[in-house]
Structure 1
Amino acid sequence: MFSKKLKNSFFAIIFISSFCYADWKSDANARIENIRKRNLEITIVDSLGQPVGGIDVEINQLKQHFAFGTCISYSNLVNYANYRNFILENFNWAVCENETKWASNENTRDSENYSQGDYIYNWCNTNEIPMRGHTLFWEQLTYIQQWVKDLPYAAYPASSELLTEVDERIDSAVNHFKNKFLHWDVDNEMLPSGSDYRFYDRLGDGGRVHMYQRARTVDPNCKLFLNEYTGNSFGSYDGWTYASRANGLISQGAPIDALGIQGHINSGFNPQTYYNSVLQPLAAVGLPIWITEFDVPQADENLRADELEKFYRICFSHASVEGIIMWGFYGPSAWRWEGLVDSDWSVNAAGLRYQALMDEWTTEATDTTGINGDANFRGFHGIYEITLSAAGQPDETYVIELAPGTTTLQLEIETNLYAPEPEYVKPAPNPMTFVSPPAAVSQSSITMTATTATDESMPCQYLFECTNDPTKSSTWEFGTTYLATGLSPSTLYTFRVKARDNALYPNETDFSVPASARTMSPGANVGLLGSWITGLNHAKETGENRILVFVAHGLSWGAGDITSVSYGGKMMTKVLEVDTGSSFGYQTAVFILKEADIASAIATNFSPTWTSTWGSYSYSSAFFTNVNQASPIGATAGNSIPSGTSISTVPLLNDQGDMVIIAVTGGAAGSYTLNNGFTEGIDQQFGGYWYATGVAGHKLSIGTAITPNATFSSSSSQGIIGVVIRAALITYDDCTDVQNGGLALISDLSGDCYVNFKDLHIISDYWLNEDCALINNCNGADFEPIDGTVDFQDFGEFAQQWMNCNDPQGVGCTSNW
């Protein structure tokens, strides 16, 4: 027997928050999607300009717009076919490793030799690989010819032998590779200090500005680069010094076109710090950025793969970065790392990871033109081969460029292909049917499932129409199951479904017979028992519908995960966790403990377990009553930001009487204001050398979506979590209670909670009666729709519920509340 009283339970919820870095990878991928891709709309027309539908369009990216390159060694290029093939298969840009440095071209004064650089250029040009030049001048004395170091010098603009040789070097090298090299690193490594550096201080900054001006005069079309490792390599994260130096030279008249950062990183690379402290400051200069010499020494090839992916992903995600050049890939000859390829030419884990990234950032897709001749894609910037095909006709291919841009690129292609003959067969079954008719799952939602359609033009789509509230209808969708949300409690909704195929001119089935369901009735509101308290002990509160929790805000060094929480010896169940742990960061998780474990808990203390070796924590807890024991948790959401004052989750759907909980951690000392009507429970600061702040609160729902939102007193890293606690549902003792509660089945005309022959007899008594409005809608037999007549529409709905029952005391009956 069902009890009308709400089942006894007790609810307490634990939020665990610890302070850490934002989810850099998700953020990077979102930026990549935004800045590296573009929408493409291809319209296929015939010779008269009329659209041609039914044409299969396939796009395959041949080359990325973004530069993924490598330095090339002359000896390897000449001697190893595997070396050459790997370049052709994996890179789209190149630079000479040593062959165009001044010491290589003019080791002896006035004796120049560009033969090795020419060989590399000619091979790259033959294979359509653009090149950059490295380097006109190198500031490190170790790599400067002795005869150059011995030259007399004077500060520019005074004439000197050193200045004369500098001019000759520019005139010779830049002119030799004019209209061949698209870039030149003009001055390499001017930032490091020490006795072995800054050789060209002998000419002063005026001499450096002169280098760029003269190179620009010799080849006006070549982009001129600064190239530095200081602040971006060997574990250093300082882009501000480099940016200041670049701005200073530019202000003196140096025509600098782009900034090269070498990217010789070490293991333990931190991508978010690199983005914030290297890429962002350099981007503020307003010039393109190229990574010119990437490598990462790491003997473990799997760890090397991880470091490579982090570096490539974070750099690819920055809008100012236009290319990444790898400083060698063949391990045995690479300068300072083990590379992508081992001595036996096998591709190691780092190489496989690099290739996986290239696959991830390469677009291949297909679509079929509709009646307007349109096919739509979204792809990475680059060169594409477009293939058009239609059954029984030869394919057509075209090459197009999807250049960077914020608008949709619209292309029109004239074809000799013609559309296939349309087919007119409707999907089966026809009319469409429900395999699972509408059924309430909450006060505000009803679920239903259509029969899977079959057709020669798959896949099929489905449209679920709500006949008495069109705003609750679906759009055409591929899934067979539809969840209607945002409904009113205790309200009858009627749905029908149809399907359509994927033909050029889609064929639709007829609608199914309508079927109805009533949303559930509200139960008692979830309520706070007692109040939020701090600490690691909370005595059991007395109340109905019990369940338990604990809120932990943590500040930790290293990954501060909280792996488990127990109450009185009973382990709690984790519901949600937001974890982006790094050096410092936050974690937010939710644990719950149900009634049975609360009742058997032998004590009232919480025992949390953290993974961090050092940390500072604060705790709070709260109890709630009237919670749905079978399904206590509804919608959940979390969010984190690296800095800011305001933070929120996405809106959380809920039902009337539910409780929405909010918990937030901020990475500084301060205080919180809870917005959108939330009541604050606990707001506390904690820490020692470093400080953080945690807050928790709640809000009772009236059945509309609620957005957890909080404002911090200072700008800081923050993490937030929101959870909907579902209210317990009202249950019923007998059929009379069901009928009085307004939950009668629409086809249960006799009012006994069964749809059977008694109800069929009532329908037959009034069959085809057309004056039902005068006799109480023919005693309820005119119900779908109520139109004054008992007809097949009413009988169709009746048939959908035939032999259904919702008697609380009946065997095999299903409740609809």
Structure 2
Amino acid sequence: MSVSALNGAFAMTLLLMTCGMTSCELLKNGGFDNGMDPWHCWGFSCELLGSADSHQGSHAIRSHGRTKYYQGPSQEMTTVPGKLYQAQSWIKFLNDTTGSLGQLIELEVAFNFPDDSHDYVNVAMRPLVTVADGWFLLQGDFQAPPKAVKSTTFYYQGPVAGVDFAVDQASVAEVTSDSNWRKETDDVINRVRKSNINIVVTSPANIDKSAVKLRVVQTKKGFPFGATVDSWKYVNSSQQKYRDFIHTHFNWAVPGNALKWRQFDWHQPHEGPGDKLYARAQSTIDGLRKAGLKVRGHNMVWSVEQFIPEKIKQLSGQQLRDAVKNHIQWTMNVTKGTLEHWDVNNENLHGQWFQERLHDRDYDLELFRMMHQADPVPKLFLNDYNVVAQGAATSAYLAQGQRFKNANVHMSGMGVQCHFFKDQEPNPSQIKRHLDTLATVGVPLWATELDVQSADENTRADYIEKALRALYGHPAIEGIMFWSYGGSSPSSLQALVVDGSMTLTAAGRRVLDLLENQWMTDETHVLSQSGDHFTVRGFHGDYEMQVIYQGHQQSSLNFTLGKDDETVNVNVHGHT
């Protein structure tokens, strides 16, 4: 009897018995070693390939005669409402298209509901695929809708009509969350975000050690916690509360829109780079730096067509290359010495306008080279979405990161945007899997655009805490930037504060408790109990060591704790 013929608890019991408690394979004959059944090829042709043309095993299947982009092998499967699944397949393109840099390939899941409505989920994607890529693994994950489903179909789509491709080793399996994730992230935080402060105390022989207190208090965080800044608001003289909030609670910032190329064109037409609307951005950067914050540049170019300046869209060939080069050189010159990072080519997985316009697949690499040549100091980043909060682009981002690193174009890190959908509860186990995957590139990862969405502020507080713990508790993450932390009311989907009054919401209070209480060090030790040699495990950052004798502060000294342990010598005097 098939699983589909069963129902209720007996069906679930059979699934667990068949697939095991931790993983359940939904697809049948995913390696095609038993022919093509139960795979379907509606409106086009499929044929078995032998072992010489398969990725693994005795067979793969080839799709050909495709007349629509959405045509690809498909199979119905049974999902459980609310469960998380991982899908993957090996894929190889068999022909290219004339005049194209490559084609998109996607793993897709279609849900058909009892009322005959549909929901289509992009599970995994990879752009600009060609025959030269050979066999590659495409992988992603999805969550089944939390309601009854009439049918669920897994299928391939993406390449234009006429492109043939082979697939092998297809799999859709349930993945489970690690109930121990909190302890594991806490262990990473204690190991990676802290170091030892070895305190050596010298004091007179006749001193009353029970009257000596040594307070080790952190005054500034070393780990980068930052936020997007609305430059229009930041430079407004009436927005002192806004500026104070940013300066008080963050040590990094990013001007959200002020440095984007099209932003200049929206507000001031110009004939040359010297006419750009830059004063507001410069004032914002200067104010942030004066307040002691470090600043990220976001972004130099954006390959998604809708975000490209209209004048630039009219260019091609050498004129386009010259315009981009002039933009980079001018911008790098006026920002020289003020920015720590630059997002170079924003969301290049989801748009390749410059590459396609110039018919140059490697132009994205050239952008990094030009920026480094214009100013070698700022660290240069990729930056993309659906790579951690969701996983549709994780495997594509892995391939892109490896390509950039191997090309030696001065890529210093990869930005992972971390935009969670409305009412999407962050899954720490899923976040860790995605970060583990991307960490194999071997460069730092920054959570560049973190936000969660729920109309209920207490739910939002739970969501943001889970996301923060998962990110801060992963060793590859070297910085976290909040993207949308201010809203128009306490029920704003993304807000940590109420816009205008800057009053903290429940989510805001939760965040500041983590950043300024739980993840900051403040310990007081009585000398008679601690002894003359003791160790404090402290978070990285700046510190003040206060010597208090008989209730009065006798002296203090400052030091910085980094990744290496620090020894602090303290002298206690026999007087107040």
- Please confirm whether the aligned pair reaches a TM-score higher than 0.5, indicating the same fold: yes
Residue of structure 1 aligned with 2:299, choices 122, 132, 135: 135
In structure 1, the partner of 2:461 is: 305
| 1:181 aligns to 2:355 (yes or no) | no
The partner residue of 1:327 within 471, 483, 487 is 483
Q: Which amino acid aligns with 1:186?
A: V
- Mapped to 1, the partners of 2:479 and 2:408 lie a distance apart of 26
Q: Structure 1 residue 113 and structure 2 residue 282: aligned?
A: no
Q: Which residue of 2 aligns with 1:318?
A: 474
The structural deviation recorded for 1:333 is 9.9
Equivalent position of 1:563 in the other structure? none
Q: Is the 8 A contact 2:546 2:553 kept in 1?
A: no
Give the one of 226, 233, 238 matched to 1:76: 233
Q: Contact 2:247–2:288 (CA<8 Å) still a contact in 1? A: no
* Aligned match of 1:620: none
Please say if residues 192 and 198 of structure 1, whose CA atoms lie closer than 8 Å, have aligned partners that are also in contact: no
Compute the RMSD of aligned alpha carbons. Answer: 2.9
Aligned counterparts, 1:399-548, within 5 A? 399-405=558-564, 408-413=565-570, 415=571, 417-419=572-574
Give how far 1:243 is off. Answer: 1.2
Specify the alignment match of 1:98 in structure 2.
Answer: 257
**AA aligned opposite 2:439:** A
Whether the aligned pair in 1 keeps the contact of 2:402 and 2:441 (CA below 8 Å) is: yes
Among 230, 233, 243, the residue aligned to 2:398: 243
Alpha-carbon distance change, 367 to 375 in structure 1, aligned in 2, over 3 angstroms: farther
Note the alpha carbon deviations across 1:504-538, whole angstroms, 9 max, x for none: xxxxxxxxxxxxxxxxxxxxxxxxxxxxxxxxxxx
Shift of 1:295: 1.2
Indicate how the Cα distance of structure 1 residues 94 and 392 shifts in structure 2: closer, same or farther if over 3 A, else same: closer
Show the counterpart of 1:353. Answer: 510
Give the TM-score taking structure 1 as reference length. Answer: 0.45
**Native 8 Å contact 1:72 1:328 kept in 2:** no
| Matched-pair contact (CA < 8 Å) for 1:295–1:337 | no
Which whole-Å CA distance do the structure 1 matches of 2:444 and 2:428 have between them? Answer: 20
Q: How many residues align?
A: 389
* Deviation string, structure 1 residues 369-406 (Cα, Å, up to 9, x no partner): 4697334211111111221122276532222111023x
Paired with 1:18 and 1:149, the residues of 2 have a C-alpha distance of 54
- The 1:256–1:205 alpha-carbon spacing in structure 2 relative to 1, beyond 3 Å, is farther
Contact 1:237 1:277 in 2 (8 A): no
Aligned match of 2:446 in 290, 298, 312?
290
| Structure 2 equivalent of residue 581 of structure 1 | none
Kindly indicate which of the two structures has a greater share of residues assigned to helix. 2
* Superposition deviation, residue 420 in structure 1: 6.8
Q: Is the 8 A contact 1:53 1:419 kept in 2?
A: no
Q: Name the residue aligned to 2:157.
A: none
1:381 pairs, out of 532, 536, 540, with 540
* 1:136-192, Cα deviation, whole Å (9 max, x unpaired): 011111111110111122xxxxxx111111111111111211121000111100001
Pairing 1:230–2:389 present: no
Amino acid aligned to 1:63: K
Between the aligned partners of 1:53 and 1:215, the Cα distance in structure 2 is 59
Residues 756-790 of structure 1, C-alpha deviations (whole Å, 9 max, x = no match): xxxxxxxxxxxxxxxxxxxxxxxxxxxxxxxxxxx
Counterpart residue identity of residue 80, structure 1: Q
Q: Residue in 1 aligned with 2:324?
A: 166
Aligned to 1:784: none
Consecutive unaligned residues of structure 2, counting only runs of 5 or more, are: 1-19, 23-175
Given that 1:57 and 1:389 are in contact with CA atoms closer than 8 Å, whether structure 2 keeps it comes out as: yes
Change (3 A) 1:388 1:237: farther
Identity score, percent: 27
In 2, distance between residues paired with 1:221 and 1:275? 31
- The one-letter code sitting in structure 2 at the alignment partner of 1:179 is G
Is the Cα contact below 8 Å between 2:428 and 2:467 reproduced in 1? no
In structure 1, give the amino acid aligned to 2:270.
T
Q: Which secondary structure state, in structure 2, belongs to the residue aligned with residue 178 of structure 1?
A: coil
Larger radius of gyration: 1
CA distance in 2, matches of 1:114, 1:52: 62
Residue 58 of structure 1 aligns with an amino acid whose one-letter code is: R
SS of the aligned residue for 2:257 comes to: coil
Structure-1 separation of matches of 2:526 and 2:462: 38
For 1:202, the equivalent position in structure 2 comes to 357
C-alpha distance in 2 between matches for 1:418 and 1:228: 56
Shift of 1:360: 1.0
Q: How big is each residue's C-alpha offset from its partner over 1:486-514, in whole Å with a ceiling of 9 and x where there is no partner? A: xxxxxxxxxxxxxxxxxxxxxxxxxxxxx
Correspondence for 2:316 among 143, 152, 158: 152
Aligned partner letter, 1:317: G
Output one character per residue of 1:230-274: Cα deviation in whole Å (capped at 9) or x when no partner. Answer: 3334x4355221011111122233210000011111233343343
Alignment of 1:34-73 (within 5 A): 34-45=191-202, 55-73=212-230
CA shift in 2, pair 1:121/1:108, >3 Å: same
1:274 aligns to what?
430
**2:316–2:357 CA contact under 8 A, matched in 1:** no
Out of 554, 568, 573, the residue aligned to residue 395 of structure 1 is 554
Aligned to 2:367: 211
Q: Which runs of 5+ in 1 are unaligned?
A: 1-16, 154-159, 422-817
Contact 1:237 1:278 in 2 (8 A): no
Does the 8 Å contact 2:332/2:371 carry over to 1?
Answer: yes
Counterpart AA for 1:363: T
TM superposition shift of 1:108 = 2.9
- Give the 3-state SS of the residue equivalent to 2:573 in structure 1: coil
Alignment partner of 1:25 is 2:182: yes
The letter of the residue matching 1:142 is Q
Task: Report the equivalent of 1:9.
Answer: none
TM-score using structure 2 length = 0.63
Given the alignment of the two structures, is residue 86 of structure 1 paired with residue 245 of structure 2, yes or no? yes
Distance 1:198 1:369 in 2: 65
Q: Distance in 2 between matches of 1:313 and 1:367?
A: 28
How far 1:61 moved relative to its partner? 1.3
What CA distance in whole angstroms lies between the structure 1 residues aligned with 2:362 and 2:208?
64
Is 2:525 aligned against 1:367? yes
**Match of 2:225, SS?**
strand
**In the alignment, which of 122, 137, 158 is matched to residue 286 of structure 2?**
122
